[in-house]
Amino acid sequence: MQGDARGCELAYKMVAERDNEKYSFARESRLLIVAKAKVWASEGWRVVITDQDGKAYAPPEFDQLLAA
């Protein structure tokens, strides 16, 4: 898993894909990663968030991730 500037592992990873483009982001905060993922999904990107345990969340499941 990707680390931050302090060398800590980041808990949540978001991958967004559209056409031939792919972007990846990692954050410690569930709130920040879900907010970013919702914006990208609303703009037509295929978005998946993966948590620290490797469980993947698609846009309909983003609220479940916030409730965890």
pLDDT digits (tens, 9 = 90+) for 8-18: 568 999 999 99
Q: Is residue 65 part of a domain?
A: no
Q: Is residue 49 part of a domain?
A: yes
Q: How many domains does the chain have?
A: 1
Q: Is residue 59 part of a domain?
A: no
- First CA to last CA distance, the chain: 20
Q: Is residue 63 part of a domain?
A: no
Q: In the structure encoding, which two tokens stand for residue 16, read together? A: 């967004």
Q: Is residue 22 part of a domain?
A: yes
Q: Structural domain of residue 31, as residue ranges?
A: 12-53
Q: Is residue 64 part of a domain?
A: no
State which amino acid sits at residue 53: D
Which pTM does this prediction carry? Answer: 0.82
pLDDT digits (tens, 9 = 90+) for 11-53: 999 999 999 999 999 999 999 999 999 999 999 999 999 999 9
pLDDT on residue 40:
97
Q: Is residue 39 part of a domain?
A: yes
Calpha distance 6→20 (Å, rounded): 32
Q: Is residue 68 part of a domain?
A: no
pLDDT on residue 8:
55
